[in-house]
Amino acid sequence: MVVVKVGGSAGIDYDAVCADVAALWKEGRRLIVVHGGSGETNRVAEALGHPPRFVTSPSGYTSRFTDRQTLEIFEMVYCGKMNKGIVERLQRHGVNAVGLSGLDGRIFEGRHKDSVRAVENGKVKVLRGDHTGTVERVNTGLIELLLSGGYLPVLTPPGASYEGVAINVDGDRAAAALAAALGADALLLLSNVPGLLRDFPDERSLIREIPANEVEAYLDFAQDRMKKKVLGAAEAVAGGVRRVIFGDARAGAPVSAALAGAGTVVS
């Protein structure tokens, strides 16, 4: 089993990713796709007059402040345009894909965090009304049901809180929780960079290998959103996933290339 997380930043070639996923699926590989949608969500939020707000925690993690209106815009883009766009591409390639959010069937479940600590102008503030959370449980039964019926699951945030409220969960960490829960052989975190760069944005500084027991030490190289990917990788390997690969989704056959070891391999 391979979990393929494809990001939502500018430059990602979804046609290339879907063609590659479809080819591997037809060869008999068991695959699950998890995707993001942050770039498009930012554009739609601006257009709807509710621009995105990003907050940085005291420990340096950046996240989207998700008030109710933001959550609704987030759902339109992630569960609507992005999810159906990927499902449609896979269907065109003859793969019977099913697109679901983590809220559907409680695929991604976790605790709702209503408030977030954010550093603004050098001061730590507590912001309330946030709809975020971290995936703590995965409904593997529903995923297995789809796979055993021959359907390829295409999953996206949000997840469900224990009270049944939609929560914005990080896609990389959700994919890591899914890969661990399913005992996947590999988790691919595909984005618009060649992998983890020692000296971002210099692409020649690609880190090729990270020993599984040293992942957290590499958090220092990652800035802003890349930190969540490194954290997700650490969680996945701690959860028993043998290989996590940070790969490039901008062209070529991104899934096959990552499986063949292109990018940053954590093992």
Binding mask 127-156 for ligand ADP (x = CB under 6 A): ------------------------------
Q: For 234, list phi and psi in degrees, rounded to 5.
A: -65, -40
Residue nearest to ligand ADP (CB): 7
Determine, following the binding rule CB under 6 A, whether residue 78 of this chain makes contact with ligand ADP: no
d(CA 175, CA 244): 11
Number of residues that bind ligand ADP (CB under 6 A): 17
Report the 3 state secondary structure along 50-88: CCCCEEECCCCCEEECCCHHHHHHHHHHHHHHHHHHHHH
Q: Which of 3, 9, 87, 97 binds ligand ADP (CB under 6 A)?
A: 9
Q: Which two tokens stand for residue 5?
A: 């997380």
Contact (CB, 8 A) for 167 and 218? no
AA letter at 181: A
Confirm if 9 and 37 have CB atoms less than 8 A apart: no
Q: At 229, phi and psi to the nearest 5? A: -70, -40
Work out which of 2, 44, 221, 231 binds ligand ADP, going by CB under 6 A: 221
Name the amino acid, one letter, at 167: I
Tell me, what DSSP letter sits at residue 129? Answer: -
- Rounded distance, CA 4 to CA 97, Å? 14
Hey, how many other C-beta atoms are within 10 angstroms of the C-beta on 47?
10
Task: Show the site string, 187-216: x = touches ligand ADP by CB under 6 A, - = not.
Answer: ----xxx--xx--x----------------
Q: Cβ closer to ligand ADP: 146 or 228?
A: 228
What's the closest the beta carbon of residue 206 comes to ligand ADP, in angstroms? 8
106 is in an annotated binding site: no
The DSSP H or E segment spanning 236 is: helix 226-238
Q: Are 183 and 1 in contact (CB under 8 A)?
A: yes
Residue 226, interface with ligand ADP (CB under 6 A)? yes
Q: Which is nearer to ligand ADP, 205 or 267 (CB)?
A: 205
For ligand ADP, the binding residue among 4, 20, 31, 36 (CB under 6 A) is: 36
Contact call for residue 61 and ligand ADP (CB under 6 A): no
Ligand-binding site membership of 64 (annotated): yes
In the bound state with ligand ADP, the residue whose beta carbon lies nearer, of 8 and 133, is 8
Least distance between ligand ADP and beta carbon 28 (Å): 28
Least distance CB 178 / ligand ADP (angstroms): 15
Of 4, 7, 79, 250, the residue at the interface with ligand ADP (CB under 6 A) is 7
Q: Are 18 and 8 in contact (CB under 8 A)?
A: no
Binding site for ligand ADP (CB under 6 A): 7-9, 36, 38, 191-193, 196-197, 200, 221-226
| Residue numbers belonging to the annotated binding site | 64, 168
